[in-house]
Amino acid sequence: MKLQSLKIIDHPVAKAYLTKIRDRNTSHFEFSQFVERLSMLLAYEASSGLKTKSKKIHTPLAPYKGVEIKQEIILLPILRAGLGLLGGFSRLFPDAKISHLGIYRDEETLLPVKYYFKFPELKNSRNASVFILDPMLATGGSMNFAINEVKIKGIRTIVVCSLVSAPEGVNEVLKLHPDIKIYTCSLDKKLNDKGYIIPGLGDAGDRLFGTH
């Protein structure tokens, strides 16, 4: 595992929110609320590498030379659980373009299959940053599929954002895509024999939408 490519959010508020969403007694309404708050902290950290350019403005009192974000930002939630992170990221980046990617796992081959993908038209793909959003980075299969789809579009700057990650998934992603960065709120212990993260937080999609 390349430690320079993995950033774990070590913040007391993030830890408190993460404890709340791990708790099995947390209702799906509270779960979604705390996921959104946690996603804002994740978005703040994950965007630390964005490039800026100079911008001259006038305050009410004097001229001022400030900055603005240079890159075009695209948020890509992996359906459906990734939608839970979209609110917090959209609050931080209200002008970001939104992409959506739907994937399911074939029961026979166990390989990811794309059923929906909508990606925005870009002025310059080399000047774009894509944040792929998924609460759980487990085996890494879906995430690697998503990264491949984005790279086909000519995107060079890709950031993976998750709430909890398994070492197996992180290693799998960085093995195939050593050029990307992963931001997560926790690197958990392991995957169980069913591919669930331990200790994890259960099925994020079901808990977000009250379908468990």
- Check: CB of residue 162 under 8 Å from CB of residue 181: no
Choosing from 105, 106, 156, 207, which is the catalytic residue? 105
Would residue 203 show up in a list of annotated catalytic residues for this protein?
yes
How far apart (Å, rounded) are the C-alpha atoms in residues 20 and 157?
Answer: 32
Q: 147-154 long-range contacts, Cβ below 8 Å, gap at least 24?
A: 147/173, 147/176, 147/177, 147/180, 149/101, 149/114, 149/117, 149/119, 150/76, 150/119, 153/119, 153/122, 153/125, 154/125, 154/126
Choosing from 24, 206, 207, 211, which is the catalytic residue? 206
Choosing from 22, 80, 156, 203, which is the catalytic residue? 203
Would residue 105 show up in a list of annotated catalytic residues for this protein?
yes
How far apart (Å, rounded) are the C-alpha atoms in residues 35 and 51?
Answer: 27
Checking DSSP bridges between strand 72-79 and strand 52-58, what pairing results, if any? unpaired
Would residue 206 show up in a list of annotated catalytic residues for this protein?
yes
Choosing from 59, 106, 109, 193, which is the catalytic residue? 109
Would residue 109 show up in a list of annotated catalytic residues for this protein?
yes
- Check: CB of residue 125 under 8 Å from CB of residue 83: no
The catalytic residues are 105, 109, 203, 206
